[in-house]
A and B are shown apart, each in its own frame.
Chain A
Amino acid sequence: MAKYSVPFDNVTCNTSNDVRAALTDATAGNAGSSIAIYEIQAGGLASSSVATALKLSRQGTLGVTPTAVTPDKLSNYSPAAGFSAASGWGTQPVLSGNGLVILAFNAFGGGASWVAPPGSECIFTTTSAAVGASLRPTAGNGAISGHILIEQL
């Protein structure tokens, strides 16, 4: 199915705030809405050493009042994304569990990526209410850039 990128550029890490988030769109009777995150990449832009960790988590309680960003189509021929993405929230989501992926690196000249082969993506799916994915720092306060690649199923 169609694939999309949710990039982030020169975002200053704050361990209380999501860098980026994605939400399945199950609020308009679109039962079965699913997304699969298959790549996350982040690189540091800091000018001195900063231990940085980014965690992809599920949202136990969804964020409220998202600052929407439009997912970029990886193919010009893809339709607009059927899920939504956010660069911030009026009320940040409450994240749950231990997280699905953690990228730890030095934001001064360092970075990290995780790439999943087809069939081994991180799945966010629902039958009714929307579910959310959040990429949030657990350490660090430097600036980072990167992207999240998402397949809409």
Chain B
Amino acid sequence: MKEEFGVLTIWDQGNKKTYPTYTCGHCSNVVVMRPDRTRERTKCIQCGRTICEQTEICATHCTPLPELARDHMEAKGEWKKYVPAIMAGVDKKDEALSMGLILL
């Protein structure tokens, strides 16, 4: 799967700057890419998408949101287990479990 970069543009009184972004393949967080970063971005070994490294759920469980959404959530339960938690903005598994936001 080929990933493309998004573009963040900021303009101010005639000056314009653009920055590349990518969207986390698990939670849809948009990450602005620093030009001076040398460490490689983390990719999910299951879905192959670049992930945001910001939340525990993203880092530990593959939830391929774009594919699930385009498939109208027809996929098996394991893939969409954490969708309600992600949609509620919950970052941690324990918190999601205590709030009843994990599909069993």
Contacts and interface: CB of A to CB of B under 8 A. Distances in A.
B87 interface: yes
B40 interface: no
A80 interface: no
Contact of A112 (B4, B8, B72, B89): B8
Contact of A120 (B4, B8, B69, B88): B4
In this complex, the member of A113, A123, A126, A131 whose beta carbon has the largest number of chain B beta carbons within 10 angstroms is: A123
A120 B6 contact: yes
Given A58-B88, A98-B29, A121-B23, A127 B9 contact: no
Interface size class of chain B, counting residues whose CB lies under 8 Å from the partner chain = 35 or more
A110 B12 CA distance: 4
Interface size class of chain A, counting residues whose CB lies under 8 Å from the partner chain = 35 or more
Given A31-B73, A100-B28, A109-B13, A121 B90 contact: no
Contacts of A29: none
B68 interface: yes
Interface in A103-144: 103-106, 108-127, 131
A120 B23 contact: yes
Contacts of A60: 88-90
Interface in A7-47: 31-32, 34, 36
21 contacts: A31-B72, A32-B74, A58-B89, A60-B90, A96-B90, A98-B54, A101-B30, A105-B11, A106-B12, A109-B14, A110-B13, A113-B9, A115-B7, A120-B4, A120-B22, A120-B23, A122-B28, A125-B83, A127-B84, A131-B87, A153-B72
Interface of A: 31-32, 34, 36, 57-58, 60, 95-98, 100-101, 103-106, 108-127, 131, 153
